[in-house]
Amino acid sequence: MPTSAPRFRAATHLTNVRYEIRGPLARRAQEIERQGHEVLKLNIGNPAAFGFRTPPTMRLAVVENLAASEGYAHQKGIFPAREAVVMETQSRGIKGVTAEDVFMGNGVSELILMTLEALLEPGDEVLVPSPDYPLWTAAVHITSAKPVHYPCRPENGFVPDPAEVRRMVTARTKALVLINPNNPTGAVYPRAVVEALVRIAEEFRLVLLSDEIYDRITYDGAEHVPVATLCHGTLCGTFGGLSKVYRACGLRVGWVSWSGDKDSAHEYLAAVELLASLRLCSNVPGQWAVQTALGGAQSIYELTTANGRLGRQRRAVIDAVKASKYLDVVEPKGALYAFVRVKDDMFPGFDDQAFAMALLEDKHVLVVPGSSFNAPYRNHFRVTLLPDEETMGIVFSRIEELLARWHEQGVPVTNVAE
């Protein structure tokens, strides 16, 4: 008989995989709640948690088709959902997409993992924005490939410099990832920047992967430019879904549509379908909401106006930061987040992880440290725009109280979140 239990270790390809949005801070928040305290959670863009409802027509579409949802669907998804995505691409001026070019997934997250796993070999490189939504970096690491982060600098409004991106392409580069509108920064890339990035992908024959899950969530007249409208000389995958625009995170319905140079990608797309087949199919009931969502009135536009709920809550964050002695922010032009900077010249030795944990322990407010998004600096944090204006006021009042104390007494130097 063995004298001690065997040690089961995590796979080495997970060594650099991080997802701190649901990491130690979130687990500590749950412990604090179990102690009877209320935690104001601004860490996840989950509309339902803040009273946003899925449009009733979408809920009805799911209910009315439950009887047709009890068996497996095609590995790419049900035809009405895929055809609805095709119709949307046509309405946006994207040419050549058919239902065969659309894959439905259990949210965009599953599709990111599948599309990268089908593409990458160990040692390959993928250009990923910094800051990024950390699943993109994690998914590259899982394949044993290398994420190469191109900077989206705060001083440039978190918009990338195409010339800088171009210089980072090597012989090992396989793909270029765009996140636009951007999570976590809220940046919406100008048309000229999008076009320049497309030309880089075409020149070097990179697969262009565009995360556009927030495509209809823009503010102050910002224009979202679908990458696929400009990309013809290489393969382009566009990711969308029901989670954010349609406030239906729990349905777990996302899609990727392929356009551009598909003739050179038969083997790769067959590999994506193989992975789709291995998981049999994605959630069927939620897929019945896609046609209704894309074909109906777009209620998100009422929410993103200056007087709409999201517009007001965005303004509440911007105003709170402007009133602060210690914070500033690049005003988000899209998505559901603000990436707030702490004026680190006022806080020598400032550490975003230590700050986030102290804010949680002392003030019962949960935010995400900026370095969690693969940013090379440690003076930012992300908040979601989803809480109402009153809650935003409470949150930023508590942040100001903590920073005022730190400014007077000095900041801790221990990174208690690690």
Residue written as tokens 């942040």?
399
Q: Coil, strand or helix: which one is 159? A: coil
Domains in the chain, CATH or no CATH each:
12-52+302-409 (3.90.1150.10), 56-295 (3.40.640.10)
Q: Which two tokens stand for residue 218?
A: 């823009």
Mean per-residue pLDDT, 290-298: 93
Confidence at residue 418, expressed as pLDDT on a 0 to 100 scale: 40
Question: How does residue 335 score in pLDDT terms, banded at 50, 70 and 90?
Answer: very high
**DSSP single-letter state for residue 245:** T
Residue written as tokens 């349609």?
246
Q: Is the pLDDT of residue 89 over 70?
A: yes
Q: What does the mean pLDDT of the chain come to?
A: 94
Q: Coil, strand or helix: which one is 147? A: strand
Confidence at residue 296, expressed as pLDDT on a 0 to 100 scale: 83
Confidence at residue 415, expressed as pLDDT on a 0 to 100 scale: 46
Cβ neighbour number for residue 304 with a 10 Å cutoff? 20
Mean per-residue pLDDT, 85-110: 96
Q: Is the pLDDT of residue 417 over 50?
A: no
Cα(46)–Cα(348) distance, integer angstroms = 34
pTM: 0.93
